[in-house]
Amino acid sequence: MERPRPILRPEGPIVVETVGLNVHYGSFHALREVSAAFAANHITALIGPSGCGKSTYLRCFNRMNDLIEGARVSGQVLLEGEDVNTPETDVVELRRRVGMVFQAPNPFPMSIFDNIAYGPRLQGVREHSRLEEIVERSLRAAALWDEVKDKLRQTAIALSGGQQQRMCIARALAVEPEILLMDEPCSALDPTATFHIEELMLELKQRYTIIIVTHNMYQASRVSDYTGFFLLGELIEYDRTEKIFEGPADPRTDDYIRGRFG
Amino acid sequence: MTALGESQLLTPSADRGRSRARGLHRAKLVEKLAFAGLWLAAAVTVLPVLLILAIMTAKGARALTWTFLSSVQEGIFPAVVGTVLLVGLTTVIAAPLGVMAAIYLSEYARPGPAVRLIRLAIVNLAGVPSVVYGLFGLALFVTLLHFGRSLLAGACTLALLVLPLVISASEEALRQVPRGLREGSLALGATRLQTVRKIVLPNALPGILTGLILAIGRAAGETAPILFTAAFYALSSPFPKSLLSPVLALPYQIYVMATEVPNVPPEHKWGAALVLVLVVLGLNLVAIVLRTRMRAKRRW
């Protein structure tokens, strides 16, 4: 048995942490004994080569792995101290508290307004003025309001890729989550759109805790406060972003950020 | 090694060039022949459709008068009404059942022996000859459930016949809805059912409708399943009074006119057949148009 790695506990309040988290896909051990704590109102980046388990890890926080055939998750995910990885957990409620933005923008084929109002309507908000208020607030928070305020009734499919992704962020914000998970949110976007999203993330961390999976190490170093490096399903190193990028403790982290593999 | 090198050296290059040219020539010829053969095969499949339409139009078009279509005693009006009723009721039974089964299979079921069994049943159901459906309907609906020879028994039998069609078309349509949309909805705190109702089903609807219309076309043209369960030929009571009355139906009327009733003017037989074919083709055409429009509209 390996000895357990020391867990970095960021200063300040912790919103969510995992304790000894394992994920198996059938006989494949995708995530091994991952323990980490995440600081409120900070951005944490998860980096590592493809297939290292970082997306799998991200999907544990809102139980999206439940949807994957043959996936088994064991260990604890403590959201404000309470384990949400139990059969009794209300997954619907959990997903309202932990929002997610996906790799490819996934606007619903309906109007921009209906996209943003989707979550609030699920929660029973019917009053139109209230919905209008939520839509405007969410689009403003996602820095998209000025671009779309005159075409809220038009289909969201017609937006550009970058706008679609910001709309998806707005849609996630509309249910007022505590945590925002972002799974390579810029991988389908051009540099300008990526820049917009990064600016937006720095803006959003005032109010939300953000955990982002990214392939782009520059992005991780630009936006994140903490960085976790995954390799073959293990969290190899987790520390302040400057520490990871300027003097990582583990040689494998050093190899990866210097582009020697992955 | 050396021997091979030598033999290559000894082969005059001009000769090699010529033989390659010959090879190319042959390849082109084979390509042409293959193309001709494939084209012919494709053409042969079109030909019968055109021939059927041409022959029936030639022989039956004269019969297509307003009297023929609308008269109870001298025309096929009761049969048209009967077929519409049969097909309508079939749809009412098969559509919800089929779509719900497809939703279960596509959105809820986890792979396992149960699902394998269901799929096996659907495949086999699709392969059962229609006359077997007829006999099964006679045994179950007509006799055991005491529906008698009736509209209801016929529609139930036809519904069983088209169910596999409806299920596979609906499942296919549901599968076409991108996974990202489902995940997006669930990640916003929607339940599985809410996701199905608000996201999956609306986006699969055109595909489901297309499948339904094709199924209706199939049901409209079938004879064997209604032969023992619903159809009769008696102009004394041309229209069914209830769900439990027998009905006249186009395919059955054609069968009767062709085999049992003497002195039916030939153009009447052809005319009735033409009407049936036009109804089925028309339905298929609607399905095709719907599918094309849906494809043009869909841009995820």
In B, which residues are within 8 Å of A172 by CB distance?
A: 187-188
pLDDT given at position A6? 59
Cα distances from A99 to residues A59, A174, A208, B61, in angstroms, run 11, 10, 10, 65
Classify strands A71-79 and A14-25 as parallel, antiparallel or unpaired: antiparallel
**Within its chain, how far is the Cα of A39 from the centroid?**
14
Q: Which residues, including other chains, have CB under 8 Å from residue A83's CB and lie 6 or more apart?
A: A76, A77, A89
Residue A63 has pLDDT above 70, yes or no: yes
For range B66-95, the mean pLDDT = 85
Percentage of chain B modeled with pLDDT above 90: 34
Identify any residues that bridge with A155 across adjacent strands, giving them in sequence order: A111
Helix, strand, coil in percent for chain A, rounding step 5: 35, 25, 35
Q: What percent of chain B has pLDDT over 70?
A: 92
Inform me whether the pLDDT recorded for B12 exceeds 80.
no
pLDDT over 90 percentage in chain A: 78
Coil, strand or helix at A136? helix
Question: Nearest CA to CA, how far is A96 from chain B (Å)?
Answer: 5
Q: Is the pLDDT of residue B283 over 90?
A: no
pLDDT, residue B78, reads 85
Q: Is the pLDDT of residue B5 over 60?
A: no
* Residue B214 predicted with pLDDT over 90: no
At A66, list the tokens. 């439940």
pLDDT in tens, A29-45: 999 999 999 999 999 99
Residues 6 or more apart whose Cβ sits within 8 Å of residue A29: A22, A23, A233
Candidate from A157-171, B2-16, B93-107 with smallest mean pLDDT: B2-16
B86 touches B158 (CB < 8 A): yes
Is the per-residue pLDDT at B300 higher than 50?
Answer: no
Q: Distance (Å) from the C-alpha of residue B199 to the closest C-alpha of chain A?
A: 7
Give pLDDT tens digits for B224-277: 888 888 888 777 777 888 888 888 888 888 888 888 877 788 888 888 888 888
Sign of CA dihedral B9, B13, B18, B22: positive
Q: What is the largest CA-CA distance in chain A?
A: 60
The answer to whether the Cβ–Cβ distance between B188 and A99 falls below 8 Å is: yes
**Is A67's CB within 8 Å of B183's CB?**
yes
Q: How far apart are CA A110 and CA B86, in angstroms?
A: 37
What mean pLDDT is predicted for residues A234-252? 92
* Percentage above 70 pLDDT, chain A: 96
Question: Quick one: tokens of B111?
Answer: 């792979």
pLDDT at A154: 93
Give the tens place of pLDDT for each residue, B120-164.
999 888 889 999 999 999 999 989 999 988 899 999 999 999 999
Residue A16: per-residue pLDDT: 94
Per-residue pLDDT, averaged over A186-213, amounts to 90
Q: Is B300 helix (H, G, I), strand (E, B) or coil?
A: coil
pTM for the full predicted model: 0.80
pLDDT in tens, B46-62: 998 889 889 888 888 88
Within 8 A by CB and 6+ apart from A46, the residues are A54, A57, A58, A211, A212, A213, A214, A227, A228, A230
B189 and A93 within 8 Å at the Cβ level: the answer is yes
CA distance, residue B101 to nearest chain A CA (Å): 20
Chain B partners of A118 at a C-beta cutoff of 8 Å?
A: 185, 188, 190, 198
What is the identity of the amino acid at A36?
A
DSSP A67-116: GSTTEEEEEEEEETTEE--STTS-HHHHHHHEEEE-SS----SSBHHHHH
Instruction: Residue window 202-221, chain B: list those with CB within 8 Å of chain A.
Output: 203
Give residue B81's pLDDT.
Answer: 86
Both tokens assigned to B254: 């054609």
Residue B67 is predicted with a pLDDT of: 79
> Looking at the complex, does the CB of residue B178 fall below 8 Å from at least one CB of chain A?
yes
Helices (H), chain B: 2-10, 13-60, 66-70, 77-103, 113-127, 130-137, 151-176, 179-187, 192-195, 201-221, 224-227, 250-259, 266-297
Q: Give yes or no for residue B3 having a pLDDT over 60.
A: no
Helices B77-103, B250-259: axis angle to 10 degrees equals: 130
What value of ipTM does the predicted structure carry? 0.90
Structural tokens at position A148? 């779309």
Q: Residues B192, A67: contact at Cβ < 8 Å? A: no
Each residue of A97-108: pLDDT tens digit? Answer: 999 999 999 999
